[in-house]
A and B are shown apart, each in its own frame.
Chain A
Amino acid sequence: SQQGEEDPQALSIQEGENATMNCSYKTSINNLQWYRQNSGRGLVHLILIRSNEREKHSGRLRVTLDTSKKSSSLLITASRAADTASYFCATDAEETSGSRLTFGEGTQLTVNP
């Protein structure tokens, strides 16, 4: 499997519920980033978590990082219909530090009103 693999591929929830998306990766990283992409648009940066951090919050977003398991999770609390989008994790590997991000295939989140 590729670096930065998201799980699940698709998630459908009701407004107000929480959404959890997971990401696994393979190599040692400097940081891991989460992005959102609305249909037909570019990626919007949500949050960056560095390899020496375990948890980070930004508004309704909570990201965790477990470097021993090479995994991360993105939690969106109290979801809204406007949160409907594809969510990607991307890793900045130590080996290629700063030169590229490696993206997973994404989780398509649908929040039903």
Chain B
Amino acid sequence: NAGVMQNPRHLVRRRGQEARLRCSPMKGHSHVYWYRQLPEEGLKFMVYLQKENIIDESGMPKERFSAEFPKEGPSILRIQQVVRGDSAAYFCASSRKQGAGGQPQHFGDGTRLSIL
């Protein structure tokens, strides 16, 4: 499967626990984006990363949320001390280097996070 791979597909956590969501971009893609989707809504941008660098994290809450895209391995979205309001679908997308006019983003199937 050459697409964007996210795991796990479903994640259940209790309030106060940590959630780790993983994303492997498409082969040849060096740009990774994380979005959050609440039921019946569109996707909301969270963070944009390139290898080893956070480029834009303006959509991510400043507390409890962090993201990384290491030189080796998948991108990780980490949510510490989860609360009920963190329940949502989290999508990762990847793209090639952004050139003139832009490049499409390709999405994974998401991780559905449920907080008990």
**Interface of A with B (CB < 8 Å)?**
4, 30-31, 33, 35, 41-45, 48, 50-52, 88, 90, 92, 96-106
Q: How far is the CA of A104 from the CA of B6 in the complex (A)?
A: 23
B59 within 8 A of A: yes
Q: Tell whether A48 pairs with B104 under 8 Å between CB atoms, given A42-B109, A43-B91, A96-B56.
A: yes
**Interface of B with A (CB < 8 Å)?**
4, 6, 31, 33, 35, 40-45, 48, 55-56, 59, 91, 93, 95, 98, 101-110
Tell me if B102 and A100 are in contact (CB < 8 A): no
Q: How far is the CA of A42 from the CA of B3 in the complex (A)?
A: 11
Tell me if B102 and A50 are in contact (CB < 8 A): yes
Please indicate the chain A residues that have their CB under 8 angstroms from the CB of B41 in the complex.
Answer: 105-106
Tell me if A31 and B102 are in contact (CB < 8 A): yes
Max chain B C-beta neighbours (<10 A), residue from A42, A44, A52:
A42
Nearest 4 pairs between A and B by C-beta? A98-B98, A103-B42, A100-B45, A42-B107
Point out the residue from B31, B43, B56, B106 that lies within 8 Å of A103, measured CB to CB.
B43
23 contacts between A and B (CB under 8 A): A4-B42, A31-B101, A33-B104, A35-B107, A41-B109, A43-B93, A44-B107, A45-B104, A48-B102, A48-B104, A50-B101, A50-B102, A88-B42, A88-B43, A90-B43, A98-B95, A98-B98, A100-B56, A101-B33, A101-B43, A101-B45, A102-B45, A105-B42
Please indicate the chain B residues that have their CB under 8 angstroms from the CB of A101 in the complex.
Answer: 33, 35, 43, 45, 93, 105
Max chain A C-beta neighbours (<10 A), residue from B4, B59, B95, B101:
B101
Minimum distance in angstroms from B70 CB to a CB of chain A: 20
Please indicate the chain B residues that have their CB under 8 angstroms from the CB of A42 in the complex.
Answer: 4, 6, 91, 107-110
Tell me if B55 and A99 are in contact (CB < 8 A): yes
Residue of A nearest to B43 (CB): A103
Please indicate the chain B residues that have their CB under 8 angstroms from the CB of A103 in the complex.
Answer: 35, 42-44
Please indicate the chain B residues that have their CB under 8 angstroms from the CB of A104 in the complex.
Answer: 42
Q: How far is the CA of A31 from the CA of B107 in the complex (A)?
A: 18
Max chain B C-beta neighbours (<10 A), residue from A30, A52, A100:
A100
